[in-house]
Amino acid sequence: MSDTAQLIIGDKTYELPVITGTEDEKAIDISKLRDQSGYVTLDIGYKNTGATKSAITFLDGEKGILKYRGYSIEQLAEKSTFIEVAYLLIYGDLPTAEQLKDFQYQLSRHTLVQEDMKKFFDGFPQGSHPMGQLSSLVCAMSAFYPDSLKPNQTAQEVNLSIVKTLAKMSTLVSWIYKKSLGHPYIYPRNKYDYVTNFLYMTFGQRTEEIEIDPVIVDAMNKLLILHADHEQNCSASTVRIVGSSDSNLYASLSAGISALWGPLHGGANQAVIEMLEKIQQDGGDTDKWIAKAKDKNDPFRLMGFGHRVYKNFDPRARIIKKACDDILEKLGIDDEVLQIAKKLEEVALKDPYFVQRKLYPNVDFYSGIIYRALGFPTDMFTVLFALGRLPGWIAQWKEMKENKEPIGRPRQIYTGEVNREYVDIDKR
């Protein structure tokens, strides 16, 4: 089979190399096209554009496959922990018992944040959105840990920034939650593993000892694993492109958090619950809301349905649906909102509008229901997504650096006015 593609423009033929990935994905390499022909390609929204070569995550949207470093998401969600998966994504292999112990030790040594960072929380108005807080706090870490700004950092120095970010993120996220309640911040405890420590700082009180339920630790591990990476999505691409200008790790991650915030990306988990609550308050008539989603004159979309790449099913949604059922049963919660979600799913999966457009429930359709059952307020959901996605963003940033990728700088097709003469203001 040919390993080049031919592009014919007018009377000229251009030979373009064909690249094949390890999972047999094919791409036409157009990196020399403009030099050779003067043409660029146009792909608004990058639906057909490979921005990089990556060895981190593979997904096949048609077959519903997701793998981190070659391991299926199903196996990782069943057998692994979030921290083990973080290690896998960032360093490329599953850790040995010794490596995992050392990684956990390093993380526990860096969970404290500079005390001065607490002043940020005093400055944010009560009720300000947790994602805005998180993005600012993560960017501000560059001021508190300026080593990350050094050009040409050694691998050890980069690694220290990575460990610090992972460790401190859980403290910052739990403190954002505490701030929303007006409760005192709880300091990390080194005796706990990463996820237990996060739950302890989030739900713990200074006034009493609390027990962290292993069912909740398990659920949280699963949720974080399922969100840990998703190849070149909007936020990961943002992290890579910001990092490609040699911006430091914290600034790159902060940009990724901002990208995740939008309701068409990570913000969907908040939007799903808000939508379900609205349907509940409206009397629970799912048919009415399905009709609204199908009406082209109505801007309403069924949140948690559809995905840019999964056009059959989202494998994470399957795992999370089961986890959701288990957790609600174990915690003895009968949530009416979940009943509405199930009804919507059932109707939408049979409706030709959704079937023809291959719109299936995505990971966010169920994650919000679990977070709600665990006691998180709605506007914390996307922050929890960010906590899970952090190792993926770090892995993407690290890979981009190690591959010495050039600064990301797309081209455009200009469609504006040409050659206008300046008219003085009194003559316009």
Residue 265 touching ligand ACO (CB under 6 A): yes
How many whole angstroms separate alpha carbon 40 and alpha carbon 30? 8
Residue number of the CB closest to ligand ACO reads 306
Q: From 16-24, 265-273, 283-291, 411-419, give the range in contact with ligand ACO by CB under 6 A.
A: 265-273
Find the binder of ligand ACO among 19, 264, 333, 355 (CB under 6 A).
Answer: 264
Q: From 117-125, 359-367, 386-394, 407-415, give the range in contact with ligand ACO by CB under 6 A.
A: 359-367
Residue 292 touching ligand ACO (CB under 6 A): no
Q: How many residues bind ligand ACO (CB under 6 A)?
A: 18
SS3 9: strand
Q: From 35-43, 55-63, 209-217, 260-268, give the range in contact with ligand ACO by CB under 6 A.
A: 260-268
Which helix (H) or strand (E) segment is 66 a member of?
A: strand 65-68
112 is written with which tokens? 């404290």
Which helix (H) or strand (E) segment is 141 a member of?
A: helix 130-144
- Burial call 131-146: b when 16+ CB within 10 Å, e when fewer: bebbbbbbbbbbebbe
Q: From 67-75, 195-203, 277-285, 305-313, give the range in contact with ligand ACO by CB under 6 A.
A: 305-313
Minimum CB separation of residue 363 from ligand ACO in Å reads 5
Residue 318 touching ligand ACO (CB under 6 A): no
Catalytic annotation, pick one of 227, 230, 265, 307 = 307
Find the binder of ligand ACO among 363, 373, 374, 395 (CB under 6 A).
Answer: 363
- CB burial of residue 386 (10 Å; 0-12, 13-18, 19+): buried
Instruction: Give the alpha-carbon dihedral of 194, 198, 203, 209, to 10 degrees.
Output: 40
Residue 188 touching ligand ACO (CB under 6 A): no
Residue 84 contacts residue 174 (beta carbons within 8 Å):
no
Residue 371 touching ligand ACO (CB under 6 A): no
Does 230 qualify as catalytic in the annotation? Answer: no
Residue 293 touching ligand ACO (CB under 6 A): yes
Neighbour tally for 424: CB within 10 Å: 6
Q: What angle do CA 343, 346, 347 make, to 5 degrees?
A: 85
Residue 359 touching ligand ACO (CB under 6 A): yes
Q: Which residues are catalytic?
A: 307, 364
Q: Which residues bind ligand ACO (CB under 6 A)?
A: 264-266, 268, 293, 301-308, 357, 359, 362-364
